[in-house]
Amino acid sequence: MAGEARMHAKSDSEVTSVDQSWPARSPRRPLYYVQSPSNHDAEKMSYGSSPLGSPHHFYHSSPIHHSRESSTSRFSVSLKNPRNLSTWKKLHQSQHSDDEDEDDVGADQGSGRNIRLYLCFFLLFVLLFTVFSLILWGASKSYDPKVLVKNIVFESLNIQAGNDDTGVATDMLSLNSTVRILYRNPATFFGVHVTSTPLELHYHQLSLASGLVKEFYVKRKKERKMAVVVSGHQVPLYGGVSALGNAREQRQNVALPLNLTFVMRSRANILGSLVRSKFYRRIRCYVTLHGNSLGKPSTLTHSCLYN
């Protein structure tokens, strides 16, 4: 027993001496580094180790290399797996705003292209319509209406003494006649509306009788016959008509040269009010009133000028 006690005491002393001789360990200094979360070890972002505890693994890096690798790894981690809600919202909003900008640019380009297309179609339509209208208008000019003054009938002639509106004594003339006119529309694709100035019988500059033509319409390739009454009542002569000097005594010997004048207007609505053609025919006929031919038609077919 005493021997065993001496052995234990000896071993304790040896351990104590060994422990005292062994240098005291310095406190462990933790090392941290960041790895990319591309593998299973991504979740283990940091851990500590000691060179004494890990004899087979040593990590040597300069501070500059360590900082660059850490910043790059953190940026890649934040992009691949954003754990912060505000960061995710910012990324989502930026992507959404980029998509909206692209959509707006595409919509603006599409609307601009549609506007240019509509404008081109409109201009093309206007051009074609203008060309078509000009063709119709030019074609209509070849269908000039035909006006023919066929004859005139002097039905009555009366000359008597009288007074004008101011009370001046002079010879007064009353004349009644009928003019027959043939109007023909040779056009094949439009009708015409026809008006006329008053038909007037003149002795030089003195108007002796007049008559009105009512407005009428003639269809395509149709004709119309008219009988217009041209008359004058109590027209003062003031001695200006020398050929009627002895008309009251010898009426049958009267030969009074007269001019029949009027203007015939024709209007063709080819395409409504958009395309119109107008025709004017100025007519002047030379006729002689014979006192012995009252009631008989006087042919004017070859006695008129048409301009």
* 276-302: pLDDT as tens digits: 999 999 999 999 999 888 999 999 999
Virtual CA dihedral for 32, 34, 35, 36, nearest 10 degrees?
Answer: 170
pLDDT band at 29 (very low <50, low <70, confident <90, very high): low
Q: Which two tokens stand for residue 93?
A: 């909003």
Taking residues 200-229, what's their average pLDDT? Answer: 94
Q: State pLDDT tens for residues 148-188.
A: 999 999 999 988 888 888 888 888 999 999 999 999 999 99
What are phi and psi for residue 11, nearest 5 degrees?
-65, -40
Residue 238: which residues within 8 A CB-CB, separation 6 or more?
168, 170
pLDDT digits (tens, 9 = 90+) for 167-178: 888 889 999 999
43 falls in which pLDDT band (50, 70, 90)?
Answer: very low
Nearest to 139 by CA among 96, 93, 94, 188: 188
Give the span between the Cα atoms of 280 and 271, in whole angstroms. 20
| Torsions phi, psi for 284 (to 5 deg) | -140, 120
Name the average pLDDT for the chain: 76
The distance from CA 95 to its chain's CA centroid, rounded to whole angstroms, is: 42
Q: 0.75 exceeded by the pTM?
A: no
Q: Which two tokens stand for residue 87?
A: 């960061």
10 Å Cβ neighbour count for 125?
A: 10
Number of helical (H) and strand (E) elements in the chain, helices listed first: 3, 11
Neighbours of 159 (CB within 10 A): 21
